């Protein structure tokens, strides 16, 4: 073989090697980013301790199998004159909790509004949801004036009256209803206030270059206090107190989380959300949302935008924060402070 042929063969080999290398580089570059294996460690973020119970490498099954114990419901009062129509029910004689439970309506709603019945417990000396083994000297029923479905209307009020009357008849009680026109007018006013002060915020984090795998998202989000939720593709930052709504939510494509091989799923965007009225002001939820978005954007090579894909600057986020402080003040003035039981019910 001549020197020319040898040179051409070597050159051809180099070209082939370059092509193979470029192909491998392109494949690697376009493959979704994967979590980095590391030794389990505890992470402390914003007053919460998170250990190795949620592993970054868990696949989609982790979202479905993750279990978080819920606090047992208490027989505590629910009705609040601020957001409920309340009808008193006088009794000829005390009624047992068992009899009250047997007389309860099959559904606890009047149209789209929650319906409640409470009794005054003789032994505990307080209003509570009827419980077996207790005795009650009087009862009251209520229906919520407004929620995110709108204001209480005439039909829903009438259903509230019928359900209350049926319960009262079953326990030999006499109900006393407030005037419908006044209550429906009050419902409309409360609904107007709620619609003007309802804030549900969302940031979108979009990948600049390479997409992300579910495990990569989990790994980075878990470092900021997010834990797996009960729905595939959803993570949450738990509240400081058990049983309360999550401070923040993080969600991405459910199908990607449930794929047979999540490592091959390509996620190009995720959403971080905050339901303002559901979370106590002292949780500093927006500041944590803003910081989480910035940190994830930096660590995952992403950009923070609104729902329309418009980038959010630091100044824009600061302006949102200032407006939220004013919103918190208005809710406080109306005795509907963010995170309170009344606010959680009204803004639901």
Q: What are 119-153's pLDDT values in tens digits? A: 999 999 999 999 999 999 999 999 999 999 999 99
pLDDT bin (cut points 50, 70, 90) of residue 41 is: very low
User: Quick one: average pLDDT of 196-209?
Assistant: 97
Return all residues near 301 (Cβ < 8 A) that are at least 6 apart. 207, 208, 209, 210
Cα 252 to Cα 54: distance, rounded to the nearest angstrom: 17
pLDDT tens-place string over residues 85-118: 999 999 999 999 999 999 999 999 999 999 999 9
Q: Which pLDDT score is estimated for 186?
A: 98
Q: Which pLDDT score is estimated for 3?
A: 54
pLDDT tens-place string over residues 233-268: 999 999 999 999 999 999 999 998 898 888 888 999
Task: Provide the edge-to-edge strand list for the sheet that holds 234-237.
Answer: 227-228, 234-237, 248-251, 269-275, 200-207, 302-305
Give the residue from 15, 172, 168, 27 showing the smallest Cα distance to 93.
172
Q: May I ask the CATH class of domain 43-67+199-346?
A: alpha beta
Q: Which pLDDT score is estimated for 35?
A: 79
Question: Across all residues in the chain, what is the average pLDDT?
Answer: 85
Q: For the domain with range 84-195, which CATH number is right: 3.50.50.60, 3.30.70.2740, 3.30.1400.10, 1.10.101.10?
A: 3.30.1400.10
Task: Between 50 and 115, name the one with better pLDDT.
Answer: 115
Q: Which pLDDT score is estimated for 134?
A: 97
Distance, CA of 190 to chain centre: 23
What are the structural domain ranges in the chain? 43-67+199-346, 84-195
pLDDT tens-place string over residues 261-287: 888 889 999 999 999 999 999 999 999
Whether residue 215 is predicted with pLDDT greater than 50 in this model: the reply is yes
Whether residue 333 is predicted with pLDDT greater than 80 in this model: the reply is yes
Percent of the chain with pLDDT over 70: 79
pLDDT bin (cut points 50, 70, 90) of residue 223 is: very high
Q: Which pLDDT score is estimated for 19?
A: 52
pLDDT bin (cut points 50, 70, 90) of residue 17 is: very low
Whether residue 18 is predicted with pLDDT greater than 80 in this model: the reply is no
Distance, CA of 6 to chain centre: 69
Burial class (CB in 10 A: 0-12, 13-18, 19+), 56: buried
pLDDT tens-place string over residues 23-36: 444 444 556 877 77
pLDDT bin (cut points 50, 70, 90) of residue 2 is: low
Angle at 322 between CA 316 and CA 323, to 5 degrees: 90
- For 162-181, b/e burial (b = at least 16 CB within 10 A) is ebbbebbeebebebebeeee
- Ramachandran angles phi, psi of 289, nearest 5°: -65, -45
Same fold, 43-67+199-346 and 84-195: yes
Lowest-pLDDT range of 5-9, 35-39, 139-143 = 5-9
pLDDT tens-place string over residues 157-172: 999 999 999 999 999 9
Confirm whether pTM is higher than 0.85.
Answer: no
């Amino acid at each position: 073989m001549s020197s020319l042929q040898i040179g051409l063969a070597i050159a051809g080999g180099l070209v082939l090697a370059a092509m193979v290398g470029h192909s491998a580089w392109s494949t690697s570059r376009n493959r979704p980013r994967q979590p980095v294996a590391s030794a389990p460690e505890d992470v402390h973020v914003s007053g919460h301790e998170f250990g190795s119970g949620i592993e970054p490498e868990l696949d989609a099954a982790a979202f479905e199998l993750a279990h978080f114990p819920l606090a047992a419901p208490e027989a505590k009062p629910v009705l609040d004159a601020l957001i409920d129509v309340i009808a008193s029910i006088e009794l000829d004689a005390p009624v047992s909790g068992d009899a009250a439970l047997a007389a309860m309506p099959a559904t606890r709603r009047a149209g789209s509004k929650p319906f409640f019945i409470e009794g005054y417990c003789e032994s505990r000396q307080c209003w509570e949801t009827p419980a077996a083994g207790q005795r009650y000297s009087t009862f009251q029923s209520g229906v919520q004036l407004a929620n995110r479905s709108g204001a209480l209307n005439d039909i829903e009020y009438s259903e509230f009256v019928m359900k209350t009357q049926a319960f009262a008849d079953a326990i030999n009680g006499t109900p006393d209803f407030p005037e419908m026109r006044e209550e429906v007018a009050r419902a409309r006013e409360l609904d107007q206030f709620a619609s003007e002060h309802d804030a549900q915020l969302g940031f979108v984090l979009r990948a600049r270059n390479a997409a992300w795998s579910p495990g990569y998202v989990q790994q980075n989000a878990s470092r900021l206090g997010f834990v797996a939720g009960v729905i595939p593709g959803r993570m949450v930052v738990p509240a400081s107190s058990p049983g309360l709504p999550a401070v923040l939510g993080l969600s991405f494509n459910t199908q990607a989380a449930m794929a047979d091989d999540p490592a091959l799923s390509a996620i190009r965007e995720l959403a971080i959300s905050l339901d303002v009225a559901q979370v106590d002001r002292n949780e500093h939820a927006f500041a944590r949302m803003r910081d989480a978005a910035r940190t994830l954007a930096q660590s995952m090579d992403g950009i923070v935008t609104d729902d329309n894909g418009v980038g959010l600057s630091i100044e824009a986020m600061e302006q949102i924060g200032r407006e939220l402080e004013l919103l918190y003040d208005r809710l406080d003035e109306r005795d509907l402070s963010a995170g309170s039981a009344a606010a959680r019910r009204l803004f639901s």
